[in-house]
Amino acid sequence: MTTKNDALAKWVDEVASRTKPDNIVWCDGSDAEFDRMVDQMLDSGTLTRLNEETNPNCYLHRSDPSDVARVEHLTYVCSKDKEDAGPNNNWMDPDEAHKKVDDLFAGCMQGRTMYVIPYCMGPIDSPLSRNGVEITDSPYVVANMKIMARIGAPALERIEREGTFVKGLHSTGDLDPEKRFIMHFPEELYIKSIGSGYGGNALLGKKCHALRIASWQARTEGWLAEHMLIVGLESPQGETHYIACAFPSACGKTNLAMLIPPEQYKGWKVTTVGDDICWLHLRDDGRLWAINPESGYFGVVPGTNEWSNKNAYDTLKSDAIFTNVGVTENNEPWWEEKDDGKEPAIDWKGNPYDAEVGPAAHPNSRFTVPAKNNPVYSPMADNPDGVPISAVVFGGRRKDLAPLVYEAKDWAHGVLVGASCASEMTAAAIGGAGQIRRDPMAMKPFCGYNFADYFAHWLSFEGKSDKLPKIFHVNWFRRDQDGKFLWPGFGENMRVLAWIVERCGGQRDARETPIGFLPNVEDIDTDGIDVSSETMQALLSVDPAKWEQEMLAIGEYFSEFGDRMPQALLAELDKMSSALQSKAA
């Protein structure tokens, strides 16, 4: 196979002459090809087969122990002008960056096969989708890309028809952390990644293309590429609302995407359109329509069990590639809090498990699995038109301050709510427990351009339609004085989502406060859960003095972006501060 697209053929030649592979394979995306990759990796020891009876068609990959996560400090946006990357990104001059990595790519595929993977982010027949081609020397990447994106012949056909694609060059190199770089050249629609095989660093369709490069493209073309899950909520009356939600890591994104409603809400149907990334386009009808550019999930394994997230648990029973989990005596995958009554025998590094040494599964161990395995997969995920979004929901982990839920007053205020998102770091993260990290729209590591311009782009939608989604903020993590969580979370979050949907349908009134609209205490249904009306009051309380402090902290954060900050957003901040002051006075 080769291609009718000259630019692609030329690029493949160029890369081959630099990297010097033994041979070149154009991926067709077939199941047979996937099986060939798997067989080859089983032979080389890159994969091992897991217990066929308990976990049919599942495999385990053990990565290099130094290569288990994204590397934000080695990830660069190499725009021509440093200011375009902004203080929210590492920046390197594009010429310097090309030179630096091209030297590392020289001869790096000797003795290896070079795979050319044409792919399409989004349904293959959707005008909202975008093309890419990843060149890699890793069969693990080929197999995982097959799960995560629409790859192969249909994607190549699309590229040949449309002529445009994002270029992604990847090599695992020698996995030396000193020679690891993830470079983005947004003006050239080019990604170069070397030295890592980990998901976000190596499956270039995901964060590199669908967020960093796509966010840049989206700004030029007038749409939004966001770090959001997309979920469908069908009411007992048969009305479906789709909502898009952005949360920093460790805030329960996968749980929300696959939420199982509690007993009292059995009449509701929850379906997953996407678990991580959302591309939003304003259409002629004035609504924002969303597609999930991916076709698979790349999720954190530990903590997933029958009770915390039965849908996720069932999703990964078959057809999953596990990376860095432990295994039991009879070769079943095992991880912390799997809670299946079994014991790990071997840890993620391949050593006999010893609790003294560390966990069986790496805390960032992952699964890759086709989205269609999800018992609540929404067929709308394949709809070329996408789904219309009724509400955008931002969230974070805040032990006090942010109430359980509030609604922004209008679009511009909602942009402020998103831009000022922050989350407490968990004890495991560098910086220590309780520290607040600003993570606007949960895009801190993923926005491919200056956040100030990004906020301005969000604001630019305001006058374009009167049917934009309502914007909300949720906080499942508020605690009492003793540090106990006030809200049960997990499936019970459905109670909050129901309020959000009812607000979208105009079926509920709300209480206006300086921070936005809050539910009346009795409007969040607590039937069947142990949440007293006092607790509900606490969950929905707004402390003006604390919020004034927060406004100062947000202002300070925004000042990092200097003159580029949109005045309209600063004006929103002033408006909110004044409202709080008059409340406190």
Task: Enumerate the active-site residues.
Answer: 251
Judged by beta carbon, residue 298 or residue 334, the one nearer Mn ion is 298
Q: Considering the complex, what minimum distance in angstroms separates the CB of residue 206 from ligand SAT?
A: 5
What is the pattern of x (binds Mn ion, CB under 5 A) and - over residues 270-289? ------x-------------
Buried residues in 396-411 as b, exposed as e (16+ CB within 10 A): bbbbbbbbbbbbbbeb
Judged by beta carbon, residue 300 or residue 497, the one nearer Mn ion is 300
Q: Considering the complex, what minimum distance in angstroms separates the CB of residue 81 from ligand SAT?
A: 26
Taking the C-alpha atoms of residue 223 and residue 159, their distance in angstroms, rounded to an integer, is 21
Give backbone dihedrals phi and psi of 194, rounded to 5 degrees, phi first. Answer: -140, 145
Which of the stretches 198-206, 327-335, 507-515, 543-551 binds ligand SAT when contact is defined by CB under 6 A?
198-206
Judged by beta carbon, residue 227 or residue 473, the one nearer Mn ion is 227
Q: Considering the complex, what minimum distance in angstroms separates the CB of residue 293 from ligand SAT?
A: 13
Judged by beta carbon, residue 248 or residue 403, the one nearer ligand SAT is 248
Q: Considering the complex, what minimum distance in angstroms separates the CB of residue 299 from ligand SAT?
A: 8
Give backbone dihedrals phi and psi of 323, rounded to 5 degrees, phi first. Answer: -120, 120
What is the pattern of x (binds Mn ion, CB under 5 A) and - over residues 217-256? ----------------------------------------
- Residue 207 contacts which entry, Mn ion, ligand SAT, none (Cβ below 5-8 A, type-dependent): ligand SAT
Judged by beta carbon, residue 276 or residue 382, the one nearer Mn ion is 276
Beta partners for residue 424, in sequence order: 436
Instruction: Rule CB under 6 A: choose which of 158, 167, 207, 362 binds ligand SAT.
Output: 207
Q: Considering the complex, what minimum distance in angstroms separates the CB of residue 32 from ligand SAT?
A: 27
Instruction: Rule CB under 6 A: choose which of 199, 396, 403, 566 binds ligand SAT.
Output: 199
Question: Which spans in 20-171 are helix H?
Answer: 31-44, 82-85, 94-105, 139-148, 153-162
Q: Considering the complex, what minimum distance in angstroms separates the CB of residue 211 from ligand SAT?
A: 9
- Residue 206 contacts which entry, Mn ion, ligand SAT, none (Cβ below 5-8 A, type-dependent): ligand SAT
Q: Which residue is nearest to ligand SAT (CB)?
A: 200
Collapse the DSSP code of 118 into the 3-class scheme (helix H, G, I; strand E, B; otherwise coil) and give the result: strand
Count of residues near Mn ion by CB under 5 A: 1
Q: From 471, 527, 529, 477, select the one nearest 503 (Cα to Cα).
A: 471
What is the pattern of x (binds ligand SAT, CB under 6 A) and - over residues 49-78? --------------------xx--------
Q: From 534, 522, 540, select the one nearest 473 (Cα to Cα).
A: 540
Taking the C-alpha atoms of residue 389 and residue 399, their distance in angstroms, rounded to an integer, is 29
Provide the 10 A C-beta neighbour count for residue 350. 12
Amino acid at position 531, single letter: V
Amino acid at position 210, single letter: A
Beta partners for residue 27, in sequence order: none
What is the pattern of x (binds ligand SAT, CB under 6 A) and - over residues 228-267? ---------------------x------------------
Query: Which contacts (CB < 8 Å, 24+ apart) does range 530-536 have?
Result: 530/488, 531/486, 531/487, 531/488, 535/480, 535/486
Residue 411 in contact with ligand SAT, rule: CB under 6 A: no
Instruction: Rule CB under 6 A: choose which of 158, 206, 219, 495 binds ligand SAT.
Output: 206
Helix (H) or strand (E) holding 75: strand 75-77
User: How many alpha carbons fall within 13 Å on the CB side of residue 232?
Assistant: 21
| 145, 137 contact by CB (below 8 A) | no
| 254, 300 contact by CB (below 8 A) | yes
Taking the C-alpha atoms of residue 14 and residue 212, their distance in angstroms, rounded to an integer, is 24
Q: Considering the complex, what minimum distance in angstroms separates the CB of residue 203 from ligand SAT?
A: 7
Which of the stretches 200-208, 380-388, 462-470, 486-494 binds ligand SAT when contact is defined by CB under 6 A?
200-208
| 58, 318 contact by CB (below 8 A) | yes
Bridge-based pairing of strands 23-26 and 113-121 is parallel
Residue 200 in contact with ligand SAT, rule: CB under 6 A: yes
Q: Considering the complex, what minimum distance in angstroms separates the CB of residue 199 from ligand SAT?
A: 4
Taking the C-alpha atoms of residue 453 and residue 359, their distance in angstroms, rounded to an integer, is 42
- Residue 226 contacts which entry, Mn ion, ligand SAT, none (Cβ below 5-8 A, type-dependent): none
| 422, 438 contact by CB (below 8 A) | yes
Contacts of 340 (CB under 8 A, 6+ apart): 305, 306
Q: Which of residues 283-322 bind ligand SAT (CB under 6 A)?
A: 298
**Interface residues toward ligand SAT, by CB under 6 A:** 69-70, 199-200, 206-207, 249, 298
**Interface residues toward Mn ion, by CB under 5 A:** 276
